[in-house]
Amino acid sequence: MGGESRLNSLGTHLLVEFYDCDKKILNDEVRIEQVFIEAAKKAKATVVEQVFHRFSPHGVSGVVVISESHLAVHTWPEYGYAAVDVFTCGTEIDPWVAQEFIREALHATNSTAIEMKRGTLQLPYGQLTHKPLDTIEKK
């Protein structure tokens, strides 16, 4: 087989922790949903569906499903903390754009982020495509 093997991945997954956030925003289900939908759009993702839930006495969890994967959040307003996942596939979507928008919208004064490459594959041909139909149809 000609050509050299290259390391590629199907997607990028950010594991983000936001600290010292606005506690009122973290407890506002409608606002959190709006922030995450807008973050997906700012990153140029295609929003498919969203589900958010407010817990009693406080806290919000939710997910925005995008064609390119998902954005998810769990908030602890009592601590001013939010745990966020931004997982995007393909080369057109920038998860860091979504992460920055969320940070600003939550008024986080401190944050940490870890980037993971997901679906890392070693292939004998060029760049990995997001959904190579010819390989799906052969199975």
Tell me how far apart the alpha carbons of residues 70 and 73 are, in angstroms, rounded to a whole number: 10
Catalytic one of 74, 107, 111, 130 = 74
Q: Is 67 annotated as catalytic? A: no
Catalytic one of 13, 21, 69, 111 = 69
Q: Is 21 annotated as catalytic? A: no
Helix (H) or strand (E) holding 37: helix 29-42
Burial 42-66 (b: 16+ CB within 10 A, else e): ebebeeeebebebeeeebbbbbbbb
What three-state secondary structure class fits 62?
A: strand
Catalytic one of 13, 21, 70, 89 = 89
Answer whether 127's CB lies under 8 Å from 8's CB: yes
Q: Is 74 annotated as catalytic? A: yes
Cα 88–Cα 69–Cα 122 angle in degrees, nearest 5: 60
Residues with catalytic annotation?
A: 69, 74, 89
